[in-house]
């Protein structure tokens, strides 16, 4: 994976400006797009914690890399 846990934390922090510990679904989708995840999974609620963000980002990055290597 091209992004470390620290990289994902930095990305999350860029969107969690008021340091609530969560971001909105819109911010989540924007962050996923910035990371290069074309089709991110839907989060479980209206706010996304770092733990969920990290899990979904890793899955999305893995799937995007797989799609790239498969030529899709």
CA distance 72 to 68: 6
Cβ 56 vs Cβ 41: under 8 Å: yes
Residue 12 is part of which domain span? 5-69
Per-residue pLDDT 10s for the chain (72 aa) are: 678 999 999 999 999 999 999 999 999 999 999 999 989 999 999 999 999 999 999 999 998 877 666 665
* CATH classification at residue 21: 1.10.238.10
Q: 42 burial class (0-12, 13-18, 19+ CB within 10 angstroms)?
A: exposed
Report d(CA 59, CA 57) in Å as an integer. 5
- pLDDT, position 38: 86
* Domain count of the fold of the chain: 1
pLDDT of residue 10: 96
This prediction's pTM: 0.87
């Amino acid at each position: 994976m091209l992004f470390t846990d620290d990289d994902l934390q930095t990305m999350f922090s860029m969107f969690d400006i008021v340091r609530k510990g969560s971001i909105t679904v819109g911010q989540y989708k924007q962050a996923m797009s910035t990371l290069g995840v074309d089709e991110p999974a839907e989060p479980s609620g209206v706010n996304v914690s770092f733990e969920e963000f990290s899990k979904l980002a890793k899955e999305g990055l893995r799937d995007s890399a797989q799609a790239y290597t498969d030529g899709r």
